[in-house]
Amino acid sequence: MRYRSTSMFFAALLTASSVVWAAPLLAQRPPAGGGFRGGTTIQPGEACPAGTTEIRPLTCMAPANEPPSILDYRPQSTLVVPKHTVPSAKYPVIDFHGHPGGNLGSVENIERMGRQLDSLNVRLMIAAENMSGERIARVMQVVNSSPTMKDRVRVLAGINFQNVGPGWAERAVAQLEADVAAGAVGVGEISKGFGLSIRKPDGTRLRIDDPELDPIWEACARLNIPVFIHTADPSEFWQPLDNTNERWLELSLFPNRSYAGEGNPTFEQLVEERDNLFRKHRNTTFVTAHLGWHAHDLGRLAKLFDEAPNVLAEVGAVLYDIGRQPRAARDFFVKYQDRILFGKDSYQPVEYPYYWRVFETNDDYFDYYRDYHAFWKLYGIDLPDDVLKKVYYGNALRILPRVSKAGFPNE
């Protein structure tokens, strides 16, 4: 059969295959309502109305069934790819961001924790629990009473930021010196309340870069101890709780984590004060917790690292951001391999292997451990061995001169 023109060819084609072609053509030029059940046409730049989703360009439709809530929607992945779970880390690990809590309460408890740490290959737990005075003495007594754990736990000292004013710095420095003499190997974890909620006696907010605090940071440099500091929180916590917020579920489960209301310093203010502190005290080593809450913007953390060689960062509780950008994260870890420390934060032995799997494998699309941090899957970043060793223990040993290197590979 011959056609006299192209339009005749298409006319015949349309007639011949009308059943097959009808639906897509309708979709491209939908009448009002899109021609679909419950369909709605939208204009370019508009979002679909609530309860509908875009099924063709500019056409939205509601599902026929009542949708499950985000809590209950748990699709099982059908992806078939190699799977390498990693129950135990490849090299011995220092957990720089430890919160062992009651596990330090007795020799029996600490030894039970030791067996859990053995199965994970965590060699040293740094208890970042702001301990001071009596409490350090009590914990070090427990640690030293255990033949198997005496080299496996160390503590950081806390700083009391109440009543910052005349005389404060002398008292704080004296207490810190006593705490270091009692066994503390660093300072921290300075809590997020510092900057956010702690006030001076006159009622004003204690800024992170307040010059009245300078003597304590100088003392840390003199004592050669790192300062572990948690500043701000995920930037989404300052955003409205609506259906565009990546942390909707967390903020809804824990409403007091939202800083979107009046009266709170902004995320940017806190980060600026923190960075002023880091830049002002270049002889003091600072470790910013949770990758400084820049794990979703590694370029920004790179800029901080470039500006402030005295700053390192710790990976606790931001694995969801590392594992969703495996190529960029791998490049970042390789480039800044001397600046990143392993830390877990909340002590849950079953959660550590998720970190090992992200750092050590090339696996695709696997589950994370906590839905309210992330509704997405993770990918391995397959770090080279020399980078892995630095992140797991090498960098921590370098900044913690009071910690014994026994039990770690010595290359």
Residues in contact with Zn ion by CB under 5 A are: 189, 345
Q: How far is the CB of 208 from Zn ion (least distance, A)?
A: 17
Taking the complex as a whole, how short is the minimal distance between the CB of residue 194 and Zn ion, in angstroms? 13
Q: Which residue's CB atom is positioned nearest to Zn ion?
A: 189
The CB-of-132 to Zn ion minimum distance in angstroms stands at 16
CB of 189 to Zn ion, least distance (A): 5
Between 33 and 349, name the residue whose CB sits nearer to Zn ion: 349
| Separation of first and last alpha carbons in the chain | 79
- To Zn ion, the closest distance from the beta carbon of 154 in angstroms equals 15
**Residue 87 or 101 having the CB closest to Zn ion:** 101
CB of 233 to Zn ion, least distance (A): 12
- Minimum CB distance to Zn ion smaller for 237 or for 408: 237
Q: Which residue, 56 or 192, has its beta carbon nearer to Zn ion?
A: 192
Q: Between residues 189 and 209, which has the closer beta carbon with respect to Zn ion?
A: 189
The residue (of 345 and 360) whose beta carbon lies closer to Zn ion is 345
